[in-house]
Structure 1
Amino acid sequence: MNTGKQFFTALEALRGIAAIMVMFLHTGGTLGPLPANISYLGVDFFFLLSGVVLANSYEKPLLAGEISPAGFLLQRIIRLYPLYLLSLPIGLLSYALQFGLEPLAGLLPRALLFIPNPNPEGPFPLNGPSWSLFFELWAGLLFALVLIRLSFRTVLTIALGAACITTYGASIGGNFDIGHQPGYLGFGFSRVLFSFSLGICLCRLHNVGKPTAANGNMTGLLVCGCLILITNIPASAFLGFPYFDLFICLVIFPAIVWVAMRTTQTGFIEMIFRWLGRLSYPIYILHGPIFSLLDSLRRRGFDLPASPAAGMVVVMAIFIVAGIATVCFDEPVRKKLKMMVSPNPPSTAPQSAA
């Protein structure tokens, strides 16, 4: 399957940073009280990156019939599911400590099948952040069946229309952090469709121009710094909350990704960027149940410290667990599953982990 696709090292680093920013948003008091910021937009950044990377890796093969939509969806399930399953025992223990064993009989089958739950704890109470994976898979299926066959203008129109719907929902909910609460699940579809479609447009623009990637270690570090600064903007720093979020997702995030796509990294910086990409999904999918378990233990009377110092120990532990899970579990399991599905798989570039 020779598609001429390109591996964007800087996007790997940006995905890792976005995962870290979202992780700090979900500390559950483990680091003590933290001021509210807009790091929830890291999820929108994931959706944008997925649109770019999946279009770059799969648009031509899907159009050429080299891979079917069902085959594409299977690839996405293989990419996302092993670590998600690994996180479920932690989520089960956390939920049982808070609510007992009885509700698990109904929750576990839905969690295994990725079916949202209509309860106050959120659509995926065993792993809160995994709500975005549900919409990620939905967007991937829509991409394989419909979006790849639409013109650039049509996809852009869909992105802008979804942006309007998301902004409407944000005007009710207060900001773009919607799609995972009871009553707002429908806005999750518009939220992912907005940024995912925009990512497809960015990829197509890049492929048309085919700009020569410049050696950009400093540029790569700069865009990573920009993402850190943006996601740490205090929630009280501006007015017109939904419209500020819209501006970030519609203008600033695409600009960061566009600059990152036009650079290559070398040496130590390239190694760090690639590792950030490898750890991004493990950090994202494992941190929620871990912080939830710590919170459940506190509720049960365990005297666990809640301070920046103690919290950073937990954060470092999550990094270590994510690295071990990546090397010893996720990557070997995915390799075996791919061999089972396709004994002679074509050579492909790394895929989106968002």
Structure 2
Amino acid sequence: MNSGRQFFTALEALRGIAAIMVMFLHTGGTLGPMPANISYLGVDLFFLLSGVVLANSYEKRLTAGEISPAGFLLHRIIRLYPLYLLSLPVGFVSYALQNDLESPAGLIVRAILLIPNGNPNGAFPLNGPSWSLFFELWAGLLFAVLLIRLSFRTLLVIALGAACITTYGAWVGGNFDIGHQAGYFAFGFSRVLFSFSLGICLYRLYDIRKPNTVKDGNITGLLICGCLILITNIPAIIFFGFPYFDLSICLVIFPAIVWIAMRTTQTGRVELIFGWLGRLSYPIYILHGPIFSLLHGLRQQGFNLPASPAAGMIVVIAIFILAGVITTRFDEPVRKKLRMMVSPNPPPAATQSAT
């Protein structure tokens, strides 16, 4: 396989849109009554994209011994943890407003260490969406230790086997929105292994074939982004109890969209917008949960906070602005310093990040 690493700008846009759609799913009434849609599958797209991007950035370096599995895991912690830790104080205040604090120290320690909780408030009550970080790190460790050594065919078999297990869980739960609840937590392992392994396969296929770049990359990129928005806005009730629909999206539609995205290049303003969508995707994803939960907790405490589309959009815009400020003023500088501390002279690496 070719040793060059690439930057797929359109994948950044897909990640950003998925994060935004997941955010709207978790508004907690801030935007007023909203029908649930299938944007929970945005998490499966995150896992798929992580498989592609991590394989692109690290697979050959791990195989060649340029970086150890421990060093890779440290890179992942540096990538994910600063913003996650920043979100915990907001999550703690939100949790305290809505629940009795029997063991606050234990709750905080478990949150910092990303240790799941077996209670009705979710596996990670201080930041609900952070459940996927747990599985991201677990999949990353498995990737560095085992998955890089497996053949394409074996990885594909693993992906399909994990898909079957996830589909079984979805039969019980109603759809693929499982893995974050205490009763369905075990299915989070199959859910991430399914899409993550499929992402590695997708990158290896691309790396071997090196398909031609699609013409009109700006238009194609915008079209696939629009396609993702339409898909994630499908009402969840339509296919609830029929998990084969979610399976088809994750097994066929998402890989097809990502494959097309990998074959495009963007220029000008479209490239700039796509790049920013990628930069803001993780801050939006990891910060929105505690913020909306805090607003919900304040309402429970009697604060007369408006809950309407207009008022909610102000909150959404504020989250966008906050994500931009934190990205440029906190997250990126902190990660840069941490990387310099652990590796003063790092080898050249792809700049694309996986979340």
TM-score by length of 2: 0.98
Partners in 2 of 1:247 and 1:212 — Cα distance? 26
Q: CA–CA distance in 2 between the matches of 1:236 and 1:346?
A: 49
Give the match's secondary structure for 2:329: helix
The code of the aligned residue for 2:286 comes to I
Q: Which residue number corresponds to residue 277 of structure 2?
A: 276
Are 2:197 and 1:197 equivalent residues in the alignment?
yes
Q: Which residue of 1 aligns with 2:255?
A: 254
Deviations 1:287-328 (A, max 9, x none): 000000000000000000000000000000000000011000
Paired residues of 1:202 and 1:258 also in contact (CA < 8 A): yes
- Say whether residues 1:304 and 2:337 are aligned partners: no
Distance of aligned partners of 1:238 and 1:100 in 2 relative to their CA distance in 1, 3 Å threshold:
closer
C-alpha contact 1:54 1:351 (8 A) present in aligned 2: no
Give the 5 Å matches for 1:30-179. Answer: 30-179=30-179
Letter in 1 for 2:237: S
Q: Within 1, Cα distance between the matches of 2:353 and 2:283?
A: 13
Return the TM-score normalized by structure 1.
Answer: 0.98
1:13 alignment counterpart: 13
In structure 2, give the amino acid aligned to 1:103.
S
Whether 1:223 aligns to 2:249 is: no
Aligned partner of 1:308: which letter?
A: P
Q: C-alpha separation between the residues in 2 aligned to 1:239 and 1:76?
A: 34
Alignment of 1:18-29 (within 5 A): 18-29=18-29
Q: CA deviation at 1:239?
A: 6.6
Q: 1:267 to 1:125 in 2, by over 3 A?
A: same
- Counting only pairs closer than 5 Å after superposition, residues 281-296 of structure 1 correspond to structure 2 as 281-296=282-297
Q: Which moved more, 1:91-100 or 1:277-286?
A: 91-100
Number of equivalent positions: 353
Unpaired runs of 5+ residues, structure 2, are none
**Partners in 2 of 1:285 and 1:239 — Cα distance?**
27
AA partner of residue 278 (structure 1): R
**Offset at 1:241?**
2.4
1:136-177 superposed Cα distances (whole Å, 9 cap, x missing partner): 000000000000000000000000000000000000000000
Question: Structure 1: where are the runs of 5+ without partners?
Answer: none
**Cα displacement string for residues 76-133 of structure 1 (whole angstroms, at most 9, x for unaligned residues):** 0000000000000100110111124433222100111111111110110000000000
Q: Is the 8 A contact 1:280 1:353 kept in 2?
A: no
Please list every run of at least 4 consecutive aligned residues from structure 1 whose deviation after the TM superposition is greater than 6 angstroms. none
The amino acid of 2:116's aligned partner reads P
Moved more, 216-225 or 92-101: 92-101
What percent identity do the matched residue pairs reach?
81
- The residue that corresponds to 1:328 in the other structure is 329
2-structure distance, mates of 1:307, 1:230: 24
Give deviations 1:11-48, integer Å, cap 9, x for gaps.
00000000000000000000001011100000000000
1:52-76 per-position Cα deviation (integer Å, ceiling 9, x unaligned): 0000111100000000000000000
CA distance in 1 between counterparts of 2:33 and 2:60 reads 48
Q: Is the 8 A contact 2:174 2:241 kept in 1?
A: no
